[in-house]
Structure 1
Amino acid sequence: MYFLVTNDDGYQSPGLVALRAALSDIGEVAVVAPDRNWSAAGHYRKLFDPLRAWEGTLSDGSPALICDGTPADCVALAVMGLLDRKPDLVVSGINLGANLGTDLLYSGTVAAAMEGLVFGIPGLAVSQVRPKDGKWDFRAAQIAVRQLVTLIHERSLPSEVLLNLNIPAVPPTSLRGIKVGRLGRRVYRDELVVRYDPRGRPYYWIDGAEPEDHYEEGTDIAAISDGYASLTPVHMDLTSHRWLEELRSWELEG
Structure 2
Amino acid sequence: MATLVDVTDAADPRLADYRDLRDVQLRKHLEAEHGLFLAEGEKVVRRAVEAGHEPRSFLMAPRWIDGLADVLDRTDAPCYVVSEDLAEQVTGFHVHRGALASLQRRPLPAVADVLAGARSVLVLEDIVDHTNVGAIIRCGAALDFDAVLLAPRCADPLYRRAIKVAMGSVFTLPWTRVPDWRAALPDLSAAGFTTLALTLAEDAVPIEEAVADVDRVALVLGSEGHGLSSHWERSADRRAVIPMAAGVDSLNVAAATAIACYVTQQR
TM-score normalised according to structure 2 size: 0.31
> Which protein is richer in helix relative to its size?
2
> Which protein is richer in strand relative to its size?
1
TM-score normalised according to structure 1 size: 0.32
